[in-house]
């Protein structure tokens, strides 16, 4: 499929963000976006890269009422030799279609997903920031735009991609975040949509997040929806716990998101001399293992958050500090290795990098 390139008028080109330490996360957007439409009976049509601009949508569009929506998140990095690297984008393409299947959005050919992103990034290459810890965050999404109030899968959808130059996801940067275990609200249940990257999961998480924030915590750690007993994940991160050099994470049980970063940590850890295990983690056992000092570090993993150390963990009335509030060695090593591969400072021994032409 060819992409129609709609030029951006010179006077509409935005100024780049001069001070890259002020980027934050998802505050600025590049000059262009990719849009491809899907119509029942026709398939994918009208692929275009056009000036970044608001959509004009019918207020009856299905996405506004029944949340038929999915999204992805990946990053482009500018290497010192000037090349632009994407990290495992095929995983995002595959997961996008898995998410879409769950909410009855049409599958998009992986080639279209990948080529579209590459072409957009290539046109916007000047927007990829270069300062340490920065990148160009890429946000593909699909929405249902058929204007009808009956509950049904939409027969008109938009696939679109927008991009934002970003710094650290958390204001604290690479510093420990404090996390509260949520034992009232749940994020996902067996058979629900927890495994899909769909907007509704986030809408239903906001209230717990707000209440945690009021108590001074940055994020909520979700427990399983059936017994509220087993560790699932944090808002946009999978969770890991280090018992010395043994690293444990929850298994992909259908209600947690299958993170690309999670998978990368599981593959990198053994070559760094750590052992990994995917197993159910009972929150009561976890708390007692932290209390007794068996758990030495905890960290989250996600594209946006990369590897984020956990400082304090609160469950019911108990607050425990991990690693003395410092960044642990396992966490630091995984962060350095992962970001080293992403930015070309370390060899890409798994073939994870895909360059943008
Ligand atoms: C996106 C996301 C993650 C992290 O996945 P990555 O592929 O590593 O970015 C974890 N949990 C949830 C709920 C997510 O939406």
3-state secondary structure of 133: coil
The 10s digit of each residue's pLDDT in 44-53 is 999 999 999 9
Q: Which atom of ligand 1 is nearest to the CA of 237?
A: 10
pLDDT score recorded for residue 169: 77
User: Are 56 and 187 contained in the same domain?
Assistant: no
How large is the average pLDDT for residues 271-295?
98
Cα 235 to ligand 1 centroid, rounded to whole Å: 8
- Round to whole Å and give the CA distance between 238 and 257: 7
How large is the average pLDDT for residues 139-168?
97
User: Are 181 and 120 contained in the same domain?
Assistant: no
Cα 179 to ligand 1 centroid, rounded to whole Å: 17
Cα 199 to ligand 1 centroid, rounded to whole Å: 12
The 10s digit of each residue's pLDDT in 182-196 is 999 999 999 999 999
Q: Which atom of ligand 1 is nearest to the CA of 233?
A: 11
Cα 203 to ligand 1 centroid, rounded to whole Å: 15
Can you give the CATH number for the domain in which 318 is found?
Answer: 3.20.10.10
- Asked if the model's pLDDT at residue 349 lies above 90, the reply is yes
Instruction: Calculate the CA 138 to chain-centre distance.
Output: 10
pLDDT score recorded for residue 10: 94
- Asked if the model's pLDDT at residue 172 lies above 80, the reply is no
> What is the 3-state secondary structure of 298-314?
EEEEECCCEEEEEEEEE
pLDDT score recorded for residue 168: 77
3-state secondary structure of 159: strand
How large is the average pLDDT for residues 56-69?
98
How large is the average pLDDT for residues 54-74?
98
Which of 137, 166, 195 finishes a domain?
166
Q: Which atom of ligand 1 is nearest to the CA of 260?
A: 7
In a domain, 219, yes or no: yes
pLDDT score recorded for residue 280: 98
Q: Which atom of ligand 1 is nearest to the CA of 304?
A: 9
pLDDT score recorded for residue 159: 98
Angle separating helix axes 329-342 and 260-271, nearest 10 degrees? 110
User: Are 216 and 184 contained in the same domain?
Assistant: yes
pLDDT score recorded for residue 79: 97
Q: Whose CA is nearest to atom 11 of ligand 1?
A: 236
User: Are 16 and 162 contained in the same domain?
Assistant: yes
How large is the average pLDDT for residues 290-301?
98
User: Are 187 and 68 contained in the same domain?
Assistant: no
302 lines ligand 1 (CB under 6 A): yes
User: Are 42 and 107 contained in the same domain?
Assistant: yes
User: Are 185 and 292 contained in the same domain?
Assistant: yes
- Asked if the model's pLDDT at residue 313 lies above 80, the reply is yes
Mean of the per-residue pLDDT values for the chain? 96
- Asked if the model's pLDDT at residue 235 lies above 90, the reply is no
- Asked if the model's pLDDT at residue 165 lies above 80, the reply is yes
Q: Whose CA is nearest to atom 2 of ligand 1?
A: 236
Which of 99, 133, 166 finishes a domain?
166
User: Are 234 and 309 contained in the same domain?
Assistant: yes
**Which of 253, 303, 334, 335, when mutated, tests ligand 1's pocket best, judged by the most ligand atoms within 8 Å of its CB?**
303
User: Are 115 and 141 contained in the same domain?
Assistant: yes
Cα 238 to ligand 1 centroid, rounded to whole Å: 7
pLDDT score recorded for residue 339: 95
User: Are 151 and 296 contained in the same domain?
Assistant: no
In a domain, 138, yes or no: yes
193 lines ligand 1 (CB under 6 A): no
Cα 10 to ligand 1 centroid, rounded to whole Å: 36
Dihedral Cα 284, 290, 292, 293, nearest 10 deg: 160
Beta-bridge mates of residue 276: 247
CB-neighbour burial class of residue 214 (10 A; exposed 0-12, middle 13-18, buried 19+): exposed
pLDDT score recorded for residue 39: 98
What ranges make up the beta strands (E) of 55-155?
A: 69-71, 74-78, 84-87, 135-144
- Residue 313, domain extent: 177-343
Angle separating helix axes 89-102 and 260-271, nearest 10 degrees? 140
- Round to whole Å and give the CA distance between 52 and 162: 8
In a domain, 352, yes or no: no
Q: Say what percent of the chain tops pLDDT 90.
A: 94
- Structurally, how many domains does the chain consist of? 2
How large is the average pLDDT for residues 218-239?
96
Q: Whose CA is nearest to atom 15 of ligand 1?
A: 236
233 lines ligand 1 (CB under 6 A): yes
Beta-bridge mates of residue 356: 84
Count CB neighbours of 260 within 10 A.
24
**Which of 197, 264, 335, when mutated, tests ligand 1's pocket best, judged by the most ligand atoms within 8 Å of its CB?**
197
Beta-bridge mates of residue 308: 300
Burial profile 86-125: b = 16 or more Cβ within 10 angstroms, e = fewer: bbbbebbbebbbebbebbebbebeeebbbbbbbbbbebbe
- Asked if the model's pLDDT at residue 170 lies above 80, the reply is no
26 lines ligand 1 (CB under 6 A): no
Q: Say what percent of the chain tops pLDDT 70.
A: 100
Contact in structure between 129 and 23 (CB atoms under 8 Å): yes
Can you give the CATH number for the domain in which 82 is found?
Answer: 3.30.470.10
303 lines ligand 1 (CB under 6 A): yes
Radius of gyration of the chain (CA): 21
pLDDT score recorded for residue 258: 98
- Round to whole Å and give the CA distance between 258 and 144: 24
User: Are 153 and 183 contained in the same domain?
Assistant: no
In a domain, 356, yes or no: no
Beta-bridge mates of residue 353: 87
pTM of the complete model: 0.97
23 lines ligand 1 (CB under 6 A): no
Q: Which atom of ligand 1 is nearest to the CA of 194?
A: 13
- Asked if the model's pLDDT at residue 122 lies above 90, the reply is yes
How large is the average pLDDT for residues 164-172?
83
- Expressed in angstroms, the distance from the first to the final Cα of the chain is 17
Cα 210 to ligand 1 centroid, rounded to whole Å: 20
Q: Which atom of ligand 1 is nearest to the CA of 303?
A: 9
User: Are 72 and 189 contained in the same domain?
Assistant: no
Q: Tell which residue, 254, 305, 247, 314, has the closest CA to residue 281.
A: 247
- Round to whole Å and give the CA distance between 348 and 344: 8
- Round to whole Å and give the CA distance between 323 and 303: 23
Which of 166, 196, 211 finishes a domain?
166
Q: Tell which residue, 131, 157, 159, has the closest CA to residue 144.
A: 157
């Amino acid at each position: 499929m060819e992409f129609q390139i709609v030029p951006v008028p010179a006077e509409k080109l935005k100024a780049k963000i001069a001070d890259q330490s002020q980027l934050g996360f998802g505050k600025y957007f590049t000059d262009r976006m990719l849009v491809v439409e899907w119509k029942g009976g026709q398939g994918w049509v009208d692929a275009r890269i056009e000036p970044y601009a608001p959509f004009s949508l019918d207020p009856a569009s299905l996405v506004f009422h029944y949340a038929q929506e999915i999204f992805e998140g990946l990053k482009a990095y500018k290497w010192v030799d000037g090349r632009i690297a994407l990290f495992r984008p095929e995983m995002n393409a595959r997961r996008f279609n898995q998410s879409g299947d769950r909410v009855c959005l049409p599958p998009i050919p992986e080639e279209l997903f990948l080529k579209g992103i590459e072409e957009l990034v290539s046109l916007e290459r000047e927007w990829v920031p270069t300062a340490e810890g920065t990148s160009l965050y890429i946000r593909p999404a699909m929405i249902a735009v058929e204007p009808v109030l009956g509950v049904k899968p939409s027969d008109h959808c938009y696939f679109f991609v927008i991009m934002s130059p970003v710094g650290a996801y958390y204001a604290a940067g690479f510093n420990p975040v404090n996390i509260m275990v949520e034992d009232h609200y749940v994020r996902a249940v067996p058979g629900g949509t927890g495994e899909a990257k769909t907007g509704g999961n986030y809408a239903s998480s906001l209230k717990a997040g707000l209440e945690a924030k009021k108590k001074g915590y940055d994020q909520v750690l979700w427990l399983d929806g059936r017994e509220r007993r087993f560790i699932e994940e944090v808002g946009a991160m999978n969770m890991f716990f280090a018992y010395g050099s043994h690293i444990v994470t929850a298994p992909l049980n259908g209600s947690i998101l299958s993170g690309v970063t999670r998978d990368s940590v599981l593959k990198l850890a053994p070559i760094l001399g750590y052992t990994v295990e995917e197993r159910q983690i009972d929150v009561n056992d976890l708390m007692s293992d932290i209390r007794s000092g068996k758990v030495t570090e905890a960290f989250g993993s996600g594209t946006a958050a990369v590897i984020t150390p956990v400082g304090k963990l609160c469950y019911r009335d108990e607050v425990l500090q991990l690693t003395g509030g410092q960044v642990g060695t396992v966490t630091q090593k995984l962060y350095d290795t992962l970001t080293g591969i992403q930015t070309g400072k370390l060899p890409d021994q798994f073939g994870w990098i895909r360059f943008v032409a």
